[in-house]
Homo-oligomer: A and B are copies of this chain.
Amino acid sequence: MISGKFAITIHILTLLHKFPNDYLSSEFIAGSMNLNPVLVRKEIANLKAHHVVESKEGKNGGTKLAVNASELTLKEIFEMTFETIGLGFAKNQPNPDCPVGKKINQNLEALYSEMNEKVGAQLQNISLEDFSNQF
């Protein structure tokens, strides 16, 4: 999963923030997103690995936030979803005998890296609470 990972993750976290006292089931969350519950559980597994949520198995189980929403930034969420922004690379290895081909990916990476810094600075200023309170 790449394309929707951040969007799905933040959707999950927003729901958890809206119901701070409940363990929400993957089925319930999936209902809000119109997504398969297994995919929700996979994203939750990632969030658990980052100690952002905790979940309880068994009947009446589910997931709830394990951190303070005012202290979790969108930048952290962004990084948890393994995302970097960028404008992509050509899929094939360019020709190393061409001066342009030889360095194109390196130069694109430098460019994208600057983009990430800019965007990272922006996302760092927004907490999950901020985002969630827009709803």
Binding site for B on A (CB under 8 A): 2-8, 10-11, 14-15, 18, 31-35, 74, 78, 81, 83, 85-95, 98-101, 103-104, 107-108, 111, 114-115, 118-119, 122, 126, 131, 134-135
Q: Please tell me if the beta carbons of A115 and B108 are within 8 angstroms of each other in the complex.
A: no
Q: Please tell me if the beta carbons of B85 and A115 are within 8 angstroms of each other in the complex.
A: yes
Contact of A34 among B4, B35, B92, B111 (CB under 8 A): B92
C-alpha gap A104/B85 in the complex (Å)? 20
A10 cross-chain contacts in B, Cβ below 8 A: 104, 108
9 more CB-based (< 8 A) A-B contacts, given A7-B90, A85-B87, A114-B122: A4-B88, A4-B90, A8-B90, A15-B100, A32-B101, A33-B90, A74-B111, A85-B85, A115-B119
